[in-house]
Amino acid sequence: MIDKLSWVTIYPEIVLLVMACIIALVDLSDTSARRTRTYVLTLITLAVVAAMTGMAASEGKAIYGFGNMVVSDPMGNWLKCFASLALMVTLVYGRPYAADRDMLRGGEMFTLGMFALLGMFVMISGSNFLLIYLGLELLTLSSYALVALRRDNAVASEAAMKYFVLGAMASGFLLYGLSMMYGATGSLDVNEVFKAIASGKVNHQVLVFGLVFIVAGLAFKVGAAPFHMWVPDVYQGAPTAITLMIGAAPELAAFAIIIRLLVEGLLPLAIDWQQMLAVLAIASLVVGNLAAIAQTNLKRMLAYSTISQMGFVLLGLVAGVVNGNTYNAQFAYSASMFYIVTYVLTTLASFGTILLLAREGFESEEITDLAGLNQRSPLYAGVMAITMFSLAGIPPLVGFYAKLAVLQALIASGQALYIGLAVFAVLMSLVGAFYYLRVVKVMYFDAPVTASTVSAPRDVRTVLTINGALILILGIVPGGLMTLCAKAIVATLAN
């Protein structure tokens, strides 16, 4: 069964695995505090992987390998490409911060980061319940260790513990749900499950029972309310560099498994899971936006903002199947994909700025720590302002088009209920605008506490500037990325 074609589907994973092992060894010979050699080697590896997946994605073909265990399709490859790039950017932003806090010793941050990425890759390309679950566990186990990287820090250890306990429970939910599906349909293969359910011969009650657990497990992983409790604690407690590592790239993988499980596998049950996602989306929008207002800690505020943004992503997934008709599916799912990709881009910039302002012994994680940033450094204040306006969904920044695409998918369904949801989402984003604006207010309108200028290593400065500029440029010409997402989703749905 394992023919030549199969290997093509996992070339990036092989490169990543081999290089992760090699880099772990190379790091033994690198004893410098900043781990320059390990760092450069990791970045090169990630760039190569990003290029490989990017090229595979632009070929636009969907290839199954290893007896339909893995699939290499444009959606998956683009998400892998973006995840690699996101991890690269994370490492660039995070290295000075981690070096100051003695987190680079042993080079674990790089190797664990790469193993986490490998886990994401497996999740993204898995077309089999077990493989998806394995990928998820590889990702989350690496993440638990990453959060606990500062052994001597009580807050970080607490966050790691919470993350582990709740994460393990969520994995348990997901696994239980998947086992129900297996029991009902007799297959672990996503496409086989789809066929079995579509045939209508499977007991609906058992399916819905399993579905509830799957949706709950997924909701845990993306941090949708009411399964969001871990998000604020972990975001705040983890060292900021690690917060970014678990808050950016993994969202892409989480989106991928939602598509793989719910759409590719369980689309015949759409009418059931769409209702569940709608409830989760409403709860996330309410909880995320309202709780964010009360926060004084910037990381915690961004955690609640993540919850509300996930609400929007889920809203996009709600509108795919209308009255049993899938004509709206490609618009709805590509809207969500566009949303999650641009969300990751903005998250990188916002945490990048926090990391940049943090110094040895100073975390810069209170909102007031940004006071008067415009006077200290107009450039970084500008990047942060662009990010905040984008998260608030103000044009001409890319976040606006993400919201537009989701709202369009909802309204195109023509259902009064969905149009009502769109109006509700719009009103909640008005609430959201308030706390994003508050960050801008602190940076621009308040007087600085310290007059010291902000200095940053050249790599951080360059990448952060490009990151901020991309949010603006993609806002002025968003067409390309939208088309890319649309094509990827169409190719995936066609399978």
Partner 1 sequence: MGLLSLAIWVPIAFGAVLLAFGRDEHAKGVRWVALVGSIVSFLVTLPLITRFQNGTAAMQFVEKAPWIERFNINYNLGVDGLSVWFVLLTAFITIIVVISAWEVITERVNQYMGAFLILSGLMIGVFSAIDGLLFYVFFEATLIPMYLIIGIWGGPNKIYAAFKFFLYTLLGSLLMLVALIYLYNTSGGSFDILAWHKLPLSGHAQTLLFFAFFAAFAVKVPMWPVHTWLPDVHVEAPTGGSAVLAAIMLKLGAYGFLRFSMPIAPDAAHEWAWLMIALSLIAVIYVGLVAMVQQDMKKLVAYSSVAHMGFVTLGFFIFNELGVAGGIVQMIAHGFVSGAMFLGIGVLYDRVHSRQIADYGGVVNTMPKFAAFMLLFAMANCGLPGTAGFVGEWMVILGAVKANFWIGLASATALIFGAAYTLWMYKRVYLGPVGNDHVKELSDINAREFLMLALLAIAVLWMGLFPKPFTDVMDASVTQLLRHVAVSKIPS
Tokens 């604006």 found at: 437
Closest CB to partner 1 among residues 243, 289: 289
Q: What is the CA radius of gyration of the chain?
A: 21
What separation in angstroms does the CA of 54 have from each of 7, 80, 401? 17, 8, 23
Q: What is the dihedral of CA 167, 173, 174, 176, to 10 degrees?
A: 140
Go through 483-493 and write b for each residue having 16 or more CB atoms within 10 A of its CB, e for each that does not: ebbbbbbbbbb
Closest CB to partner 1 among residues 153, 415: 415
The least CB distance from residue 192 to partner 1, in Å, is: 33
Closest CB to partner 1 among residues 206, 412: 412
The least CB distance from residue 337 to partner 1, in Å, is: 12
> Nearest to residue 391, comparing CAs of 293, 281, 305?
305
The least CB distance from residue 225 to partner 1, in Å, is: 22
Closest CB to partner 1 among residues 236, 328: 328
The least CB distance from residue 437 to partner 1, in Å, is: 6
Q: How far apart are CA 244 and CA 87, in angstroms?
A: 9
The least CB distance from residue 7 to partner 1, in Å, is: 35
The least CB distance from residue 348 to partner 1, in Å, is: 21
Closest CB to partner 1 among residues 155, 411: 411
The least CB distance from residue 487 to partner 1, in Å, is: 10
The least CB distance from residue 419 to partner 1, in Å, is: 7
Closest CB to partner 1 among residues 237, 478: 478
Tokens 């513990």 found at: 161
Task: Write out the residues near partner 1 by the rule CB under 8 A.
Answer: 374-375, 378, 382, 389, 394-396, 400-401, 404-405, 407-408, 411-412, 414, 419, 422-423, 426-427, 429-430, 433-434, 437, 440-441, 444-445, 477-479, 482-483, 486
The least CB distance from residue 474 to partner 1, in Å, is: 11
The least CB distance from residue 444 to partner 1, in Å, is: 6
Closest CB to partner 1 among residues 104, 482: 482
Residue 381 φ then ψ, to 5°: -60, -40
Closest CB to partner 1 among residues 221, 403: 403
If 0-12 CB within 10 Å is exposed, 13-18 middle and 19+ buried, where does residue 359 land?
middle
The least CB distance from residue 394 to partner 1, in Å, is: 6
> Nearest to residue 318, comparing CAs of 328, 308, 309, 304?
328
Closest CB to partner 1 among residues 286, 411: 411
Closest CB to partner 1 among residues 213, 389: 389
Closest CB to partner 1 among residues 245, 422: 422
